[in-house]
């Protein structure tokens, strides 16, 4: 069954954007060093390289005509959320290889530059300064968490560097400016899709919420509460309890005990697979009949590996389903799996499409000039593996969800 819901609203006026930039802007001293002569292109240029997240470069180098088109992937490459950042990087690399095999873009090879922000706002701010000071980066794919994205985005906006996040879902993110895009649905829409599963598909009325204590987790849990009071107010469903927990904890039994005592018959998990897996295992020891609904950021093979049999029956809405019979998606999944050893997740696939969209916009602009590429992104209608994608006037996308359930250790699309 496909849920088609669109939210079209203006988030952030020009005045609001200006205030945000004034509040968050970082004064950067930038000096451009003109190349004395154009370098010669190298048809065998690598598609990826690594860059540290240290101090900003003081003398940015201007790209020569034959130099690679460089795209940054900024996301957690180490730490608890490394799987997401590595997935972004792998996806961007795969897309670059695809383009390079056909001659690259603008007659130049494509290079993917990796930045590890450790899913830290402080680290992301440093990396954003480094990227804008570099002078050769054509755009940024990243960051991962909404809170981290919203720290880095004002720096990119102030310096007119395009950022496309494959995962940020905070309603205010894209309103930061016209160089800020997201290839992911706003969390309000996905939260509504998750509640639709819990209330209409599973027929549950007593809803418990367990949420990680991060900006994303707390914001998502609050949105679920607001939707129950508003959009789903006449459904008869109520929030019987909400428990906020530390991300990465091994023991969720105190929260589970409270949720079960409150009479929850379904639990909405506002967290990644690292929350959903352990909660499923520990909750089903207390109540084997509990239903669990998650979000698309939990859609990962790691969830099955972490939760085992306990995650059978977990449902969530996703934009991308790796088991699709669509030949384009099948080819992509097979290629990705052969190269990286696991199937791509929904967020990984959104990073793949984000890279493709940026490259198409560069091709259409005929240059890597950020203003021209940005204008082409707003015009683009991109047929990707995560569906036909077009940015609206504030850089948001609107996509259809597919409902997925884990059955016998496998993801199955529900019809």
- Return averaged pLDDT per consecutive 10 residues of the chain, 415 residues in all: 34 40 37 33 53 45 73 96 96 98 97 97 98 97 96 98 96 96 95 97 98 94 97 96 93 97 98 96 97 95 94 96 93 98 94 98 98 98 95 93 95 91
Q: Kindly state the helix (H) or strand (E) to which residue 240 belongs, with its residue range.
A: strand 238-245
Which one, of 215, 176, 147, 125, lies nearest residue 396 by Cα?
Answer: 176
b/e per residue, 45-84, with b = 16+ CB within 10 A?
bebbeebebeebbeebeebbeebbbbbbbbbbbeeebbbb
Cα 174 from Cα 9, distance rounded (Å): 12
- Assess whether the previous peptide bond of 143 is cis (omega < 30° from 0): yes
DSSP H helices in 5-145? 14-24, 82-100, 121-134
Transcribe 16-57 into DSSP letters: HHHHHHHHH--------B--SSPPPP-TT--SEEEE---SPP
What pLDDT is stored for residue 31 in this prediction? 34
What pLDDT is stored for residue 64 in this prediction? 56
What pLDDT is stored for residue 245 in this prediction? 97
């Amino acid at each position: 069954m496909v849920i088609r819901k669109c939210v079209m609203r203006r988030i952030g006026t020009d005045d609001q954007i200006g205030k945000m930039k004034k509040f968050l802007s970082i004064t950067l001293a930038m000096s451009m060093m003109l190349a004395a002569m154009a370098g010669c292109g190298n048809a065998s240029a690598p598609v990826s390289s690594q860059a540290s997240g240290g101090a900003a470069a003081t003398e940015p180098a201007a790209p020569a005509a034959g130099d690679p088109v460089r795209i940054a992937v900024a996301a957690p490459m180490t730490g608890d959320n490394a799987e997401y950042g590595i997935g972004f990087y792998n996806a961007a690399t795969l897309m670059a290889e695809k383009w390079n095999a056909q001659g690259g873009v603008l007659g130049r090879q494509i290079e993917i530059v990796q930045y590890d922000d450790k899913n830290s706002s402080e680290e992301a701010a440093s990396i954003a300064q480094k990227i804008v000071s570099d002078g050769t980066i054509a755009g940024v794919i990243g960051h991962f968490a909404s809170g981290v994205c919203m720290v880095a985005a004002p720096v990119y906006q102030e310096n007119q560097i395009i950022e496309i996040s494959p995962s940020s879902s905070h309603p205010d993110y894209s309103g930061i400016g016209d160089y800020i895009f997201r290839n992911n649905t706003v969390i309000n829409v996905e939260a509504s899709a998750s509640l639709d599963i819990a209330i209409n598909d599973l027929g549950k009325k007593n809803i418990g919420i367990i949420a990680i204590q991060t900006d994303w987790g707390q914001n998502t849990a609050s949105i679920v509460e607001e939707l129950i009071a508003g959009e789903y107010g006449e459904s008869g469903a109520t929030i019987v309890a909400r428990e906020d927990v530390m991300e990465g904890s091994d023991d969720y039994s105190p929260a589970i005990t409270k949720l079960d005592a409150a009479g929850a018959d379904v639990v909405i998990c506002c967290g990644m697979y690292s929350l959903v897996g352990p909660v499923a295992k520990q909750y089903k020891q207390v109540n084997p009949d509990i239903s669990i609904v998650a979000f698309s950021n939990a859609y990962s093979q790691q969830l099955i590996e972490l939760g085992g049999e306990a995650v059978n029956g977990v449902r969530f809405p996703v934009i991308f389903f790796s088991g699709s019979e669509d030949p384009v998606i099948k080819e992509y999944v097979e290629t990705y799996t052969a190269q990286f050893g696991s199937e791509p997740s929904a967020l990984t696939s959104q990073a793949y499409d984000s890279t493709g969209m940026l490259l198409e916009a560069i091709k259409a602009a005929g240059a890597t000039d950020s203003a021209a590429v940005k204008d082409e992104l707003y015009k683009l209608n991109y047929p990707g593996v995560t569906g036909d994608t077009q940015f609206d006037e504030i850089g948001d996308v609107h996509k259809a969800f597919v409902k997925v359930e884990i059955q016998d250790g496998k993801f199955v699309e529900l019809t």
